[in-house]
Amino acid sequence: MKKQISAILFLLISLQGVAQLAHVKHLTTFDDKKIHFGFSIGINTMDFSLRHWSLIGKNPDFVEKVWGNPDGHEITASDNIRAGMPDLVPGLTVGIVTNLRLGEYFDLRVLPGLSFGERKLVYNVPVYDNNAGNQDVEFYSTKATFIDLPVLVKYKSSRLNNQRPYLIAGPALRLDISKSGSEELVRTKRAGFYLEGGIGLDSYLRFFRLSTELKVSLGLGNILGDAPDETQRAYYTHAIQRMTSNVFTLSFHFE
């Protein structure tokens, strides 16, 4: 019995010590810095929001012609063509963190970086891509490499031990530097403005602060580019009336 009581007391003392250690505050003056820097790495998924013409013939740019489709079906003005994105593809985001302290609860953050991603468009008609040998493919893949230029305001709650939740919001500019030639089946504009918002949690570790952040970026403008040249079928572009870009990012900031 004495051994059992001693073991229980030892366990309670050990747990109390661990609890006290867990409440030791790290980096107590970190948030007092006027400016600090760091780096960021994360995963993303990119998405399109699409609005279509009810009939492709309502698009004034659409011109009927003989496309020579392998399945024998020629697209006419009365066709209702739709595109969708049933699957999201994971991508990579890396960047630099610059944080300017505005006050006890507010920071200004500039996070330039690069985002690599892919979006897959699936149509309700066969997709014939001349770049893929004019074969019926399951989807059309459009890859993107963005230069990200967000300027965000961060609102922080009061710190609780070594944790501090926060909200973040602000505008962003994205420049697509990936190759998008006139032979691409669906082209997008290179520049786009976004409105970003998200939530996060600052964790104060012994030597640095780790911030886990979930953010959504909603495109504000129509990024649908011009129809492709004569080497491709233009109706995949002409079916779309408006296209905006969205990006969802899970980031880990090391500061």
Residue 18: its pLDDT value, please? 42
Query: What is the number of structural domains in the chain?
Result: 1
Domain-embedded: residue 2 = no
Rounded mean pLDDT, 89-99: 97
Rounded Cα distance between 71 and 222, Å, is 32
Please list, residue by residue across 70-102, b when 16 or more beta carbons sit within 10 angstroms of its beta carbon and e when fewer do.
eeeeebeeebebebebeeeeebebebebbbeee
Domain-embedded: residue 14 = no
Domain-embedded: residue 4 = no
- Say what percent of the chain tops pLDDT 70: 87
Residue 180: its pLDDT value, please? 66
Residue 2: its pLDDT value, please? 45
Bin 72: left if φ > 0, else alpha if -120 < ψ < 50, else beta.
Answer: left
Domain-embedded: residue 250 = yes
The mean pLDDT of the chain is: 88
Q: What are 201-250's pLDDT values in tens digits?
A: 999 999 999 999 999 999 999 999 998 887 788 899 999 999 999 999 99
- What's the CATH code of the domain at 49? 2.40.160.20
Domain-embedded: residue 54 = yes
Domain-embedded: residue 100 = yes
Domain-embedded: residue 1 = no
Strand partners, 250: 43, 214
Domain-embedded: residue 22 = no
Q: What are 18-50's pLDDT values in tens digits?
A: 444 457 889 888 999 999 999 999 999 999 999
Contacts of 81 (CB under 8 A, 6+ apart): 52, 56, 75, 123, 124, 125, 235, 236, 239
pTM for the complete prediction?
Answer: 0.83
Contacts of 247 (CB under 8 A, 6+ apart): 44, 45, 46, 47, 115, 117, 146, 174, 194, 216, 217
Q: Say if residue 6's pLDDT is above 80.
A: no
Q: Domain range spanning residue 177?
A: 27-254
Choice among 35-39, 120-124, 132-136 with the minimum mean pLDDT: 132-136
Residue 12: its pLDDT value, please? 38
Residue 181: its pLDDT value, please? 64
Q: What are 64-88's pLDDT values in tens digits?
A: 887 778 777 788 899 999 999 988 9
Residue 1: its pLDDT value, please? 43
Looking at per-residue pLDDT, the higher value among 137 and 94 belongs to 94
